[in-house]
Amino acid sequence: MPADNDEKTRLLGRMMRRCALRECCRSDIRRKLAALPPADADDIVDTLCREGYLDDARYARAFARDKSALQGWGSRRIQLALQQKQIDAADIAAALSSIDAPAAETRMEQVLSAKWKSLAREEDPARKQAKFFRYGLGRGYGYDEIKRMYDYLRRD
């Protein structure tokens, strides 16, 4: 049963406020509107896009920048998270290329160095290496990046 116009207007206003407070993507809004019939939800999403409240490319850039800088995520983890949010592959690629590479490298070094220090009590070198690599891969860093940091930290 389609929602009446008053209900759609009320939900549109709520979603506009939500998008004004924080960056959202289409899949976030569709999830919030799951109780509505698909045609009504699509109308609201289309209106939000037309009015400039929703922009998946803008969302992807903000998401990638924040996750890289603030939480120390690697590009692979960011890519997978954006794919789960049904962001277009071109927007994901643009977002990943917009990440400040030197800052991301520094953040990766901080994150992996902290993990290395937390493994100081691990006596078995093979277990220590496995835990270090598993942690780095879970954070979304590439194997080569982790290996380079592992070799550097092991020498010190």
| pLDDT tens, position by position, 91-105 | 999 999 999 999 999
Closest Cα to residue 132, out of 72, 123, 118, 121?
Answer: 118
Q: Note the pLDDT of residue 3.
A: 57
The pTM of the full predicted model, rounded to 2 decimals, is: 0.88
| Rounded Cα gap, residues 116 and 153, in angstroms | 7
Mean pLDDT confidence for 121-143: 96
Domain ranges in the chain? 5-54, 101-155
| Angstrom distance (rounded) from CA 94 to CA 130 | 33
How far separated are the first and last CA of the chain, in Å rounded? 67
Q: Which CATH class is domain 5-54?
A: mainly alpha
pLDDT surpasses 80 at 4:
no
